[in-house]
Structure 1
Amino acid sequence: MDPQRVRRPGARPSWRRPLLYTGVASVVLVGVTASGSSYVRAQPPGGTGGLVSSSAAPTAGAQAADASRTPEAAVESVAAAVSPTPTPTPAVDRDALLAEAMESVAVEDGAEVSVAVLDPESGESAVYGDGAFDTASIVKVDILAVLLLQAQDAGRELTASEKTYATAMIKNSDNVSASELWDAIGRAEGLAAANERFGLSGTEGGDGALWGLTQTTAVDQLTLLEQVFGDDSELSEASRAYLRGLMGDIAVGQDWGVSAVGSEQAEGTADGSAGSAGSQFALKNGWLPRSQTGLWVINSIGRVMVDGRGYLVAALSKGNSTKAKGVSLVEAAAKAAVSSLRDADV
């Protein structure tokens, strides 16, 4: 029997483009009248200018003050008066652009989808949907990240058996290996402790041995991907490179999902993150038919390269009538997510 699901709204990312200000520069002219008083003119480029201040008949005290006032001081005193009012350039609503792009994605009746995307280079991101989803096998990335963090804390390397399990769990999505490492990290309790450090606030481990029924959000999975592919991470560079390498060497037949976004031109990277075959993606997929309904959970998370630029993408879905329809859904969602960021920058 399926455990009761916990629904929590996913946290919205805080990345936003800063406001930009524009204005027309003015030319400030300072001079002295025949009577000895100073004057300042603000002249827009190409304009005739206007008298800002003048005095045709200054008093003796005013004349003394004017005599001691330098042109530089006069400029400073009226700088605020002649400065243009900044006009804010409105920030692009990336979530709205993604929602618009998702309108063309076919979602069958009863199915749900959520997708999140981040361009690490610019910091721009977008999210569509905020529901909670069963992880299925994408939790295996989280399990290995937790194991690596625990090993770091203990000041040790992974054992030979742990590395064997890790390779089979990520590359081949082996469930027996996942169960071994789930137990090794302390199951849901160990996952929660590490995820708090990773910054995942909407993920809850499955009951007992049921790691595949861990609940998560697209936003949390994007945060996890930042821990794996970003520099500001709880994981060491060696741990990140190890995990990226495994995600870039997924077995043939399991390389669908967010990889649909990447271009076919591929050259491997030195850290192995693009895989031994030089692919343009590093990912982990999850697929699970629910026993009570027969409907499919289909998820895909990872990094894809498009024209030499990397994007982190998490696409989650549930309620799919078949695995094939779920795969098509997350691939279409991933494409829409990346295109929404790329089109906005054109």
Structure 2
Amino acid sequence: MESSRARRGRRAHPAGSRPLLYGALATAVVLGATAMGTAYVKARAHSGVRAVSSAASPSASATESEEASVEPVARPTTDYDELLASAMKAVDVPDGAEVSVAVLDLESGASATHGDGAFDTASIVKVDILAALLLQAQDEGRQLTAAEEAYATAMIEHSDNASASRLWSAIGEAEGLDAANERFGLTGTEGGDGMLWGLTQTTAADQLRLLRQVFGEDSELTGASRTYLRGLMERIAVDQRWGVSAAGGGSGWALKNGWLPRTATGLWDINSVGRVTVDGRACLVAVLSDGNATQAKGISLVEAAAVAAVSVFVGQDASASEAPVSATASS
């Protein structure tokens, strides 16, 4: 059947003019375009990409780009808190006792915490007292005096309580400690009333923050202050080398322990904080506990928790060991 366009062309041109030539040219163009289109579709099909007609899509290139794009696959993240909780299932926590632990892998910066309760510090607060004293000395642009250094050595290496009381007074007791801790980034620690520095309340997470001030680079303490405090923690008296050091196999540690029998209950607060190095990997560890029937049982609990905490970042078969210590002293 003759198209309407052909009829219009016949009316516009008399017989013997050039419409036949135009018709031939038009036919050639249509055939050529059809052949090119067929070749393009075959080529696209051969390459594995679905051909889309321009009539169906206003932007063929945009459609092709969308088809070629691949959604990024999110990398799985490690829940270290969950790993620590799982590791702590192997730790035997006696009835009535409570324990909280926090650990930081210094190499990766990853950390984990198990338990968020507040505990008495006992003598682990002595690290905090010295850190506060060093911060105040820095602000005053001075070094520690000979007397302050003597008190600091006795307080950290031998856990001497009289020396701790001298330096507690020197920093302004709880008010001075709390002011320093605000700058250190501690949020769950409150200094003890009056001279009761051993009843300062803290959390494992806060003790980890304090350890980062001592052993990390991003600190309010100068390099010299950090080196000084770390050195004292590496020279703890032999009879006090228990606690988080158990996670390091007895070597490569710096620590401070605290132990306190509560008069009202007869139960023990046993705590340990510090740095251990296992297979060349350094971890900061803080373990707090209370409600322990004896000092020895509390030490065993703290060491088992420290081993579990470090195992989150360092594979090891180390087991906690119980060190013989006096069950009558407090610190």
Structure 1 residue 50 corresponds to structure 2 residue 61: no
3-state SS in 1 of match to 2:107: coil
3-state SS in 1 of match to 2:96: coil
The residue that corresponds to 1:316 in the other structure is 288
The residue that corresponds to 2:81 in the other structure is 95
Contact 2:281-2:314 within 8 A present in 1 as well: no
Match of 1:170 among 152, 156, 177: 156
Q: 1:50 to 1:208 in 2, by over 3 A?
A: same
Amino acid at match of 1:321: A
TM-fit CA distance, 1:39: 8.0
3-state SS in 2 of match to 1:231: coil
Structure 1 residue 342 corresponds to structure 2 residue 314: yes
Q: 1:123 to 1:319 in 2, by over 3 A?
A: same
Contact 1:192-1:204 within 8 A present in 2 as well: yes
Which is helix-richer, 1 or 2?
2
Contact 1:41-1:52 within 8 A present in 2 as well: no
Worse-superposed segment, 116-125 or 186-195: 116-125
3-state SS in 1 of match to 2:258: strand
Structure 1 residue 146 corresponds to structure 2 residue 132: yes
TM-fit CA distance, 1:121: 1.2
Give TM-score scaled by structure 2 length.
Answer: 0.79
Contact 2:258-2:272 within 8 A present in 1 as well: yes
Match of 2:254 among 282, 294, 298: 282
Q: 1:252 to 1:88 in 2, by over 3 A?
A: same
Amino acid at match of 2:133: L
3-state SS in 2 of match to 1:315: strand
Structure 2 gaps, min length 5? 1-34, 317-331
TM-fit CA distance, 1:231: 0.3
Contact 1:41-1:50 within 8 A present in 2 as well: no
Structure 1 residue 222 corresponds to structure 2 residue 208: yes
The residue that corresponds to 2:101 in the other structure is 115
CA distance in 2, matches of 1:229, 1:160: 24
Worse-superposed segment, 103-112 or 182-191: 103-112
Amino acid at match of 2:36: A
Amino acid at match of 2:50: L
TM-fit CA distance, 1:50: 2.0
Worse-superposed segment, 119-128 or 143-152: 119-128
Q: How does 1:1-346 map to 2 (within 5 A)?
A: 34-35=36-37, 49-53=48-52, 74=61, 78-264=64-250, 279-342=251-314
Aligned residues: 282
Q: 1:149 to 1:36 in 2, by over 3 A?
A: farther
3-state SS in 2 of match to 1:328: helix
Amino acid at match of 2:48: G
Larger radius of gyration: 2
CA distance in 1, matches of 2:288, 2:240: 16
TM-fit CA distance, 1:90: 3.0
CA distance in 2, matches of 1:230, 1:95: 21
CA distance in 2, matches of 1:42, 1:315: 65
CA distance in 2, matches of 1:39, 1:173: 84
Contact 2:278-2:314 within 8 A present in 1 as well: no
> After TM superposition, where is structure 1 displaced by more than 3 Å over at least 4 residues in a row?
35-43, 52-56, 76-81
